[in-house]
Structure 1
Amino acid sequence: MEKTIYIGLIREEKYPHDNRVAFTPKQCQWIMQHYPQVQVVVQPSPHRCFRDEEYQKNGIPLQEDLTQCHLLLGIKEVPVAFLIPGKTYLFFSHTKKKQPHNRHMLRTIIDKDITLIDYECLVHPDGQRILGFGFFAGVVGAHNGLMALGKKTGDFSFKPVHTCHDFQELITHYFGVKLPPMKIVVTGSGRVAAGVLEIMGLLGIKYLPPEEYLVNQYAYPVYTQLKAGELYLRKHDKTYSRSDFHAHPENYECRFLPYVTVSDVLMNGIYWDHNIPALFSREDLRKDNFRIQVIADITDDTHGSVPCNLGDSTIEDPVYGVIKDTMERTVPYQPGTVDMMCVSNLPNELPRDASQYFGDQLMKYVFDELLKPESEMISNATIAANSALTERFSYLEDYVKGDQR
């Protein structure tokens, strides 16, 4: 008889509590119908976007004690007090870039002989990430950016996304909305940008090629999209190569500056690291022709591709103002300032839809691999196992051995 594999959905214990989950009640039910050897159990939670009763109604038992589980699935980092020794965990650990605040957690994972599989490191054979919440970050970020412009100008108003039960209710909110003329520039071409473009489509905002967008004026709202190859060109020959750009970003210059003089809103969804040039400088922000009133920095890197990102805002209070001359933070919606939307957990505003989307990708591309005795995909995403870092992540050795405090 085949051995039962127990999978536990853990309660999110990191504060502030995340309300997303790896699998919805219906997805758990589907797994148990199609994989008779798998038993899913759910740790009760008062914070989860799907109530405990919704799991119970779908035949998924609630269980506080998860020590019998072989696989434990969460979303955010697990506080060290809640880590169960000897188990295999899947969550976003935020350790692969040596993030200081998670050093102690990774040290504890190794000490407790825990196997850590990081969602962020699960990739398709071509290197593309399999799992992420970027699409719904883009959806919510685009809505919040437009909501901020409406408040700043007084020309229109949107309700906050988190007051909607789900994405369908948000779509209904857009029925009959007529937006005034505005110009929106969208950066990026990944999941975040796809979410932004979804909102552009739902609101009937017209796409224009960059060259038309730059020179013409319109009596209705329009947007353009700048992918990396349009934003960054090699300094010496004005060409773009994706692989070369990621290997040597310092050899590239950013071509964004003309757009600050013609745009009302920037929706930033471009990948950034510290070697990549910013979209504009502090000096550019101070110039009279800097027209952008609202920046939805959806990728949200403090002092990153958007220099006036002065730190995170919150779902409850998503926008702050920045005084252009001094780069000081101030109250939002004042004339002459630039308003910043820099929420780091945007998908939490549509948690049911974001969880459904995440679970679908997990079921399609990862679940079968998890059940195999050996899987290259899973092995490559495993940061720690057998009380040590795996070979692929051995570069974290100095990080793990550093000061834990």
Structure 2
Amino acid sequence: MITIGLLREGKVPADNRVALTPAQCKWIQKNASDVRVIAQASPDRCYSDKEYRDAGIEVKETMEECDILLGIKEVPVRQLLPGKTYLFFSHTKKAQPANQAMFRTILDRGITLIDYECLEHDDGQRILGFGFFAGVVGAHNGIMAYGQRTGLYELGRVYKQKSFRELIHTYFGLRLPEIKVAVTGSGRVAHGVLEVMNLLEIVEVEPDEFLERKFSYPVFTQLKGAGLYVHAQTKSYKREHFHQHPQEYRCKFLPFARTADILMNGIYWDPNMPRLFEWEDMQDPGFRIRTIADITDDREGSIPCNLGDSTMDAPVYGVDPNTRQRTAPYQPGGVDVMAVGNLPNELPRDASRYFGEQLIKHVLEPLIRGGSVIIDRATMVKNGELTPHYSYLEEYARPL
């Protein structure tokens, strides 16, 4: 018998998403007689303890009897149980300093860490993620913020709706002005953004039309790959080469910053990649963007004026392009930034259900039956030892 535990989120503020819904836990126990699921008692989950109990799932305070522990965000050091197998978003594969103590504790306590972010198909496509719903919420918040800035329309908050379906109903009858929206990226986040663009009846146009034409209705254009980057010498773009040598490329976004009202940013970024624009560009009178939804949310990353996370309660802050300081939102001459790190928390039940479906479909069986190539590639630490694939983290993992 293998016992799977659903962890109570310990990071503050607590995340309200879950890896498996009550219905999914019930399905697992019905279809795998040698698997038992326990939910750790939690006051914060989007699914209540009662809903798990009603589905026939035990709810307990402690998780010591579990073999595999499923969480969402980083597990606090004091809560890490020795010798267990953990799956969660550890945010350590880039050697993030904030999580170094946690990573070292995982090694010290003989834990096995499988990171959701590292679960990939053979072609590098990520298997698990909340990106689609991050895109939905981020796009909504971006459009909402522009309405707040201009006073031309009003959109309510996502979290006040019980589901994505109910959110869609709030769009009926909404008339948007002649806004131009630039969308960057092509992954799950971008797919979520495009869903909202379509639901709001914002019309897609080609990039060259977006730059050259005026429209009497709201429009957006999507920029990705060759539309965003070009090799500095060869003037070409090859995806694989770009990801291997991003420092050799320059970004072509700036003309869109002079044409767009709103930027929805959904691109992956690492420090070697060129930014979409720089602070100096924002000081140019021709810089038109006044609302930025930085959905992928890298502080001082592809969006230089991302000065750190905002919160679900107050998702938008202002930035003064001249002083480079954070201000109140919606100030004359300022740029508004939406940079929330846990956007799917505003649609937690939908996001959790989708995540759990992918977990069951692609990960659960090899996880409980002894592993697979996919599981092995995502295992950062095995029984307290750094695995070969993550040997580049040796310095990060070394005890102080």
TM over 0.5: yes
2:254 aligned partner: 257
Q: 1:203 maps to what in 2? A: 200
Q: Distance in 2 between matches of 1:387 and 1:231?
A: 41
CA contact (8 A) 1:228 1:270 kept: no
Residue 151 of structure 1 deviates from its aligned partner by 0.4
Give the corresponding residue for 1:62: 59
Cα distance in structure 1, aligned partners of 2:382 and 2:268: 30
Determine the structure 2 residue equivalent to 1:154: 151
1:129-148 correspondence to structure 2 within 5 Å:
129-148=126-145
Identical positions, percent: 58
List alignment gaps of at least 5 residues for structure 1.
none
- The match for 1:42 is 39
Cα drift, residue 335 of structure 1 = 2.0
Q: Which of 344, 347, 353 is the equivalent residue of 2:344?
A: 347
Superposed displacement of residue 402, structure 1: 5.0
Look up the equivalent residue of 2:277 and give its one-letter code: F
Q: Given the alignment, which residue of 101, 117, 122 partners 2:119?
A: 122
Q: State how far apart, in whole Å, the 2-side matches of 1:246 and 1:7 are.
A: 37
1:286 to 283, 287, 293: 283
Comparing 316-325 with 145-154, which one deviates more in the overlay? 316-325
Structure 1 CA distance for aligned equivalents of residues 290 and 282 of structure 2: 11
3-state DSSP of counterpart to 2:360: helix
Of 256, 263, 270, the residue aligned with 1:273 is 270
Q: What is the match of residue 401 of structure 1? A: 398
Instruction: Return the alpha-carbon distance in structure 2 between the equivalents of residues 377 and 210 of structure 1.
Output: 37
Aligned equivalents of 1:374 and 1:136: distance in 2?
Answer: 29
Q: 2:192, 2:338 → 1: CA distance?
A: 16
Q: Residue 215 of structure 1 aligns to which amino acid in structure 2? A: E
RMSD, aligned α-carbons? 1.1
Structure-2 separation of matches of 1:10 and 1:264: 42
Separation (CA, whole Å) in 1 of partners of 2:370 and 2:256: 52
Q: Report deviation, 1:326.
A: 2.0
Alignment of 1:302-381 (within 5 A): 302-381=299-378
Question: Which residue is equivalent to 2:228?
Answer: 231
Q: 2:8 aligns with which of 7, 11, 17?
A: 11
CA distance in 2, matches of 1:72, 1:150: 43
Instruction: Determine the C-alpha separation between the residues in 2 that align with 1:95 and 1:308.
Output: 24
SS at structure 1 position matched to 2:24 = helix
Deviation at 1:273, TM superposition (A): 0.9
- Aligned residue for 1:336, secondary structure, equals coil
* Equivalent-residue separation in structure 2 for 1:386 and 1:221 (angstroms): 54
- Pairing 1:72-91 to 2, within 5 Å after superposition: 72-91=69-88
Q: How many Å separate the matches in 1 of 2:270 and 2:137? A: 23
Q: For each residue in 1:48-70, what CA deviation from the matched residue of structure 2 results, as whole angstroms up to 9, or x when unmatched?
A: 01011111111111122222211
Moved more, 127-136 or 385-394: 385-394
**Structure 1 stretches (4+) deviating beyond 4 angstroms?**
none
CA offsets, 1:313-355, max 9 Å, x none? 1111111111122222111112221111111111111111111
